[in-house]
Structure 1
Amino acid sequence: MHNLFRLLIAAAIFPIACAASAQSYRDIVTTAGEGSGFNGVTLVGHGRTVDDVQTIGTARAAYGVPMTATTRFEIGSVSKWISAIIVMKLVDQGKLDLDRPISAYLPDYRKDTGGKLTLRRLMSHSSGLPNDVQKARQADPSIRGGELDQAEAVRRYASGDLAFAPGTGWDYSHSNWLLVKAVVERMTGTPYARLVDRLLVRPLRLRNSGMFHGDSATTPGMAQGYATLLPVPQEKPNPIPDFMAMAGGFYTTAPDLLVLMDAVLDGRYLSAASRKTLMTVLMPDQHYALGGRVRIERIAGKEREVAWEDGSNGGFRMIARRVLTDGHTVIVLNNTSFDYAALGQLGGELMEASYAAHTHRR
């Protein structure tokens, strides 16, 4: 009854198109909750239309706050895709060039590597810049909540010797995004969080999205991240300082993320050229484009090109999948360290159900 009640609430808030298929979506999510302990929000949609929203479990166990369609979640590394979108918007405005050397934007950056690094290589993790910021956070967890000026963060964690020549290898390095953020803020004269609000959140009317720093639990409406809920809830925060905002500081809801993906991938938020650049795979072995992945997957009996976004931080886990040709979308948000293989299976089952529902309607 609780899931049905929440679905009816969601239907009053969001345009849900495939009511006839709601039972099958509900069965899939309920099975995941009962069998694997899924706790979170799922959304199935096409284009900008929400076909189904399911909520299960608790957003904040200590306060008895239930999960709702508008519960806010950290999206972890999908923040990198958001960052790439902002950069491409600035490219459209003529403020940035993906292939201009970093030294042209940051004259104080070390000259030997600054002349080799570009935004394109940084955002595709093909720069060779070592992941010094992650190494430091793992070596000394006490620094995780500490803030630094962006220039100092770059000096400490994004100025190391290159591990390989840009474009010749791939390494998933958060340090790349410290350097991208420094470039963006210097060339716009605007703090990144304010830029996201001005360029993305307000134009797309994303009512439950934005940037956080520190412990996200202080953000109103945010779910708490947990290592587990059973036998007793164990919180699992992982503070994100502002200097790492591009790497993991964005929060959103499932409905907001659908609007965002539709606007970027099928709408007019970016120019056609910038949209193509954003989604062009540069590192085929990793399916990696700029800030995110594009994969060919077999879905509903056909090979389909899919925007493929995964994110995690602390107790948060999420996936977002959008078929580029027809806009079929699945978003799954979790706050209890849910197993990624099970998360992917849940997303896959929901995507198959989405195609089955639309085939049935025709």
Structure 2
Amino acid sequence: MKTRVFIILSIIISCAIKAHAQANFNQVDIWLKNNAAEMGGRVVLVVYKDGKLIYNHAENNMSIKQKFVTRMIARKQGKKADLDDFSSTSKVAIASCSKWLSAALVMTFVDEGKLKLTDTVGKYLPVLSQHGKGMITIGQCLSHQTGIKTSPLKESLEEMRQENSMDDAMADIAALPMEGTPGKVFHYSNAGLQIAGAILEKISGKSFETLFAERIAQPLGIKNTDFGHAKVALPAGGAYSTSEDYLNFLTMVLNRGVFNGKHILSENSITQMQVNRITPDVKITYTPAEAGGLGYGYGEWVFDAHTVSSPGLFGSFPWIDKAKQYAAFMLCFYIKSDGRQQRYKELKQLVGEAVK
């Protein structure tokens, strides 16, 4: 009898603790419900702290107009419209959230001594030297400081999607004009990471997609993330992922390169990626409106002394708070970017309050 009472009491206490922990996120629940309509009608947020998933919540309430637009976009792409509710396993295009993944992949080669951040791209891609761009470094490619003047982000991605090979992509990038000295100009674009991706393919003899699977996805237990399996991978914006998968990646970064006891990246590489490379002597020629005033490292934005992130064009927002030691990923899909930075700030503040 005593054993039975003890078990019942344990269950009651456990439920009470869980209910209390969930109650901490009440304001986050409300925020997601109130903002879902402005973020495509579907949104899911996951939060990791202290070795476990502490929050996983989705809001799904697409309007008739949002469903219509989704069908129209899918029809243009020759695909079937996905109108299913979002969950932590929903797979969508994550746009520039890809940059963080790709920069990490490059750093695995740096860790192995197969690349140096100071290596010049002309060493691996002669076509860039032939057009006066051979002096650009790997580090400058990862920090958008190549000095190359590119098309707007969406237009640039569409141009890359038309390429038949990575060599063709490099030939087109090589022919673009320069807008400043490498290392002295910041222009948020797709060119630098595309160059870095081409170099990885050259020195490994493998496709970017294969390298990502072998060096990042598989060691992290990521099963539903890829770069679209297209003819030419788009390291800067071509990935598709789930909030569950991406959180594994963030967990590794939060834990200084370690995931489930395995070293994916060195601690030094994690540190290097998070150093703000936009110093006072660097001229900013283009930065997204929602990223105004932020710093940039390698593949990730530096929000402040303890927060790094890599938001995507379609609204998804991954971030790590090093001070409070948690990682979070909000997955959504919408185009209109008005008010995004404010929404990011509001959500981050509420999650920060909940995890105290």
Determine whether 1:56 maps to 2:59.
yes
CA shift at 1:35, angstroms? Answer: 7.2
Indicate the SS of the match to 1:110. Answer: helix
3-state SS of paired residue (1:66): coil
Counterparts of 1:329 and 1:54 in 2: how far apart (Å)? 15
SS of 1:330's equivalent? strand
Letter in 2 for 1:31: N
Equivalent of 1:278 in 262, 266, 273: 273
| 8 Å contact from structure 1 (residues 305, 325) kept in 2 | yes
Which one has the largest radius of gyration? 2
Equivalent residue number for residue 9 of structure 1: none
- For 2:240, the equivalent position in structure 1 comes to 251
Worse overlay, 93-102 or 62-71:
62-71
List structure 1 runs of 4+ shifted beyond 6 angstroms.
Answer: none
Please give the alpha-carbon distance, in whole angstroms, between the structure 1 residues aligned to 2:153 and 2:240.
20
The residue type paired with residue 25 of structure 1 is V
Q: Which residue of 1 aligns with 2:182?
A: 166
TM-score, normalization: structure 1? 0.74
The answer to whether the aligner puts 1:177 opposite 2:193 as a matched pair is yes
Q: Distance in 1 between matches of 2:84 and 2:210?
A: 29
Cα–Cα, structure 1 residues 64 and 82, in superposed 2: closer, same or farther, change >3 Å? closer
Q: Deviations over 1:283-319 (max 9, x none)?
A: 14650111121121xxxxxxx520122111xxx3211
Whether 2:87 is the aligned partner of 1:90: answer no
Given residue 247 of structure 2, which amino acid in structure 1 is its aligned partner? L
- Separation of aligned partners in 2, 1:191 and 1:63: 29
Contact 2:127–2:174 (CA under 8 A) maintained in structure 1: no
Shift of 1:193: 0.3
Kindly indicate whether the alpha-carbon contact (under 8 Å) linking 1:21 and 1:357 is maintained by their aligned counterparts in 2: yes
2:249 corresponds in structure 1 to 260
Whether 1:32 aligns to 2:35 is yes
Are 1:119 and 2:118 an aligned pair? no
Change (3 A) 1:171 1:338: closer
Q: Distance in 1 between matches of 2:128 and 2:19?
A: 50
Summarize deviations over 1:118-143 as a string: whole Å, max 9, x none: 111111111101215859659xx7x5
* SS of residue paired to 1:170: strand
Q: 164, 188, 213: which one pairs with 2:204?
A: 188
* Cα contact 1:80–1:248 (8 A) shared by 2: yes
Partner of 2:49: 46
Task: Return the letter of the residue paired with 2:196.
Answer: V
Offset of residue 194 of structure 1:
0.5
* 1:113 alignment partner, SS class: coil
Match of 2:227 among 178, 199, 211: 211
Mean Cα displacement is larger for which, 270-279 or 321-330?
321-330
Letter in 2 for 1:156: D
Q: Distance in 2 between matches of 1:320 and 1:109?
A: 33
Cα–Cα, structure 1 residues 355 and 132, in superposed 2: closer, same or farther, change >3 Å?
Answer: closer
Q: Contact (CA 8 Å) 1:331, 1:347: kept in 2 or not?
A: no
In the TM superposition, residue 196 of structure 1 has moved relative to its aligned partner by 0.3
- Alignment map for 1:225-244 (pairs within 5 Å): 242-243=231-232
Counterpart in the other structure of 2:15: none
Cα 1:22–1:205 shift into 2, 3 Å: same
> Aligned-pair RMSD on alpha carbons?
2.9
Q: Which residue of 2 aligns with 1:330?
A: 328
Distance in structure 1 (CA, Å) of the matches to 2:309 and 2:144: 16
Counterpart in the other structure of 1:3: none
- How many equivalent pairs are there? 304
Deviation at 1:79, TM superposition (A): 1.1
| In structure 1, distance between residues paired with 2:242 and 2:82 | 20
Alpha-carbon separation, structure 2, partners of 1:16 and 1:288: 39
Q: Are 2:251 and 2:327, in contact at CA under 8 Å, matched by a contact in 1?
A: no
Q: 1:52 to 1:126 in 2, by over 3 A?
A: same
Contact 1:131 1:172 in 2 (8 A): no
Aligned residue for 1:356? 353
Q: Given the superposition, is the C-alpha separation of residues 153 and 334 from structure 1 closer, same or farther in structure 2, using an over 3 Å criterion?
A: same
Bigger mean CA offset, 271-280 vs 321-330: 321-330
Shift of 1:18: 3.1
- Equivalent in the alignment of 1:291: 299
Gaps (5+ residues) in structure 1? 1-14, 214-240, 297-303
Q: Of 86, 101, 107, which aligns to 1:67?
A: 86
Larger displacement relative to structure 2 (19-28 or 164-173): 19-28
Distance 1:21 1:212, change over 3 A: same
State the match for 1:222 in structure 2: none
